Amino acid sequence: MKQETIDRIRKFTEDRDWDQFHSPENIAKSIVIEAAELLECFQWDGENFDKQHVQEELADVIVYIQNMLDKLGLDVDEIVNAKMTQNETKYPVEKAKGSAAKYDQL
């Protein structure tokens, strides 16, 4: 995400004085709530979905994720790279290729 998009999200929260509601716990609840609204786009039909609606719900999840990164002072590249290192170990290419099995089933 570009810095100006991140800044817009931050300003939105600041202008409304909403930081007081943004405890990590409340943001975690919000991420699940919005993720479930995203899933609702696929509730009865996984194939034919309203892409515009999907984009909006996906954006809602992304905004709360940015709120969480801000609240906890996290660097997105740092935490994602740390997790990718774990994932690469848990799912070695030679075992995981073409398989949807969970790492403890590989």
Q: How far is CA 62 from CA 6, 34, 44, in A?
A: 10, 9, 24
Contact residues for 100 (Cβ-Cβ < 8 A; gap 6+):
none
Q: Does 89 bind a copy of itself (CB under 8 A)?
A: no
CB of 10 to a copy of itself, least distance (A): 11
CB of 85 to a copy of itself, least distance (A): 9
Window 28-67: contact mask with a copy of itself (x via CB under 8 A):
xxxxxx-xxxxxxxxxxxxx-x-x--xxx-xxxxxx-x--
User: In angstroms, rounded to a whole number, what is the distance separating the alpha carbons of residues 80 and 71?
Assistant: 17
Q: Does 96 bind a copy of itself (CB under 8 A)?
A: yes
Residue type, 93: V
CB of 90 to a copy of itself, least distance (A): 11
